[in-house]
Amino acid sequence: MSQHHLVCGVDEAGRGPLAGPVYAAAVILDSAVPIAGLADSKKLTARKREVLAQQIKSQAAAWAVASATVEEIDALNILRASLLAMRRAVQALPIKPAEALVDGLYCPELDCAARAIVKGDTKVAAISAASILAKVARDARMLELHQRHPQYRFDLHKGYPTAAHLAALREHGVSVVHRRSFAPVRLIIEAEDLTA
């Protein structure tokens, strides 16, 4: 694969949750070593994602994972923070790609050509690989946050706004790892301010 045709797939995980960082990954696959079973990470079981993530890390030509913090999400908004995490992931690649194929509607600002592909995680193997690495990294981070904040049960919902998570938020209040700019969290903060 010549340097001129190196293409990386880019995707993020964790735009929808109410807590925790947003993660992104960039992957340059090795065309000589195809990886079977790549798909949109949301369509795979957690176990299958773990297995594929190990394969991607050992067989891809290059890969990198990056994130944007809860503070950055609240300061920038979730879209901009996602794009920031994507840019960090591409910049962290040990090989510079000629082009980045990005899942979704928007591309981060990059030093290389970039193209947004709607539903790219189902169409482009390198984007599928990136979606898997981002999801596995974020899930691992949410399990770490569960150890520190067990009352929210991040191990079960990974920060997504499930009924159980919303109930825990109402019962225990907002933690330092919650995204204060997100409406369900902001409303709880406002309600606490009113009763204070």
How many H-runs (helices) and E-runs (strands) does the chain carry? 8, 5
Domain presence at residue 22: yes
Angstrom distance (rounded) from CA 61 to CA 44: 23
Give me the domain span that covers residue 39: 3-138
Pairing of strands 7-13, 22-28: antiparallel
- Taking the C-alpha atoms of residue 167 and residue 162, their distance in angstroms, rounded to an integer, is 9
Structure confidence at residue 191 (pLDDT): 86
Q: Which of 138, 165, 181 corresponds to the end of one domain?
A: 138
Question: Which CATH number goes with the domain that contains 122?
Answer: 3.30.420.10
Give the pLDDT of residue 3.
52
Tally of structural domains, the chain: 2
Please give the Cα distance from 124 to 119 (Å, whole number).
Answer: 9
What's the chain's Rg over C-alpha atoms? Answer: 18
Q: Could you list the mean pLDDT of each consecutive 10-residue stretch along the chain, which spans 196 residues?
A: 76 98 98 92 94 98 98 98 98 97 97 97 97 98 98 97 96 96 94 76
pLDDT score at 194: 78
162 and 104 both lie in a single domain: no
pLDDT at res. 113: 97
Residue 12 and residue 84 in one domain: yes
Instruction: Single out the residue of 91, 85, 93, 79 nearest to residue 67, CA to CA.
Output: 85
> With b meaning 16 or more CB within 10 Å and e meaning fewer, what string describes 85-95?
bbbbbbeebee
Same domain, 126 and 51: yes
Q: Does residue 196 sit within a domain?
A: no
What pTM value is reported for the model?
0.95
Residue 103 included in any domain: yes
Q: Is residue 195 part of a domain?
A: no
Q: Are residues 98 and 134 in the same domain?
A: yes
pLDDT score recorded for residue 193: 78
Note whether 70 and 163 are same-domain residues: no
Q: Which of 124, 102, 104 is nearest to 113 (CA)?
A: 102
